[in-house]
Amino acid sequence: DAGVTQSPTHLIKTRGQHVTLRCSPISGHKSVSWYQQVLGQGPQFIFQYYEKEERGRGNFPDRFSARQFPNYSSELNVNALLLGDSALYLCASSPLDPFLEAFFGQGTRLTVV
């Protein structure tokens, strides 16, 4: 079975631009969460979606948004990129609500220049 897949794996953007990151969960998983991991730190929770509804939002500005599609895949959008948005963005999927077993993708490394 395929694991959680994220695309692209690496991305370089310029300050002020917009970026869309994509995540495909494990087949049968209905919950998707997004995390930001800045180099040298632990992940920080951004969003959680379950059955296409937002179930949780971390302490991130409104420049960050996300959605989940009918096939349970998800997109994370970031507008007006700042240098500080440079990080590894991780997507995790879970078969359950509540979210007790998280399976992570390999992440998207975003560099903002």
Partner 1 sequence: AQSVTQLGSHVSVSEGALVLLRCNYSSSVPPYLFWYVQYPNQGLQLLLKYTTGATLVKGINGFEAEFKKSETSFHLTKPSAHMSDAAEYFCASMDSNYQLIWGAGTKLIIKP
Confirm if 66 and 53 have CB atoms less than 8 A apart.
no
Write down the least CB distance from residue 105 to partner 1, Å: 5
| 98 is an interface residue for partner 1 by CB under 8 A | yes
Nearest to 111 by CA among 77, 94, 95, 88: 88
Q: Rule CB under 8 A: which of 77-96 touch partner 1?
A: 90, 92
Whole-angstrom distance, CA of residue 51 vs CA of residue 53: 6
Q: What is the DSSP letter of 112?
A: E
Output 40 or 84, the one with its CB closest to partner 1.
40
| 60 is an interface residue for partner 1 by CB under 8 A | no
Which residue ranges make up the site for partner 1 (CB under 8 A)?
4, 33, 35, 40-45, 48, 55-56, 58, 90, 92, 97-107, 109
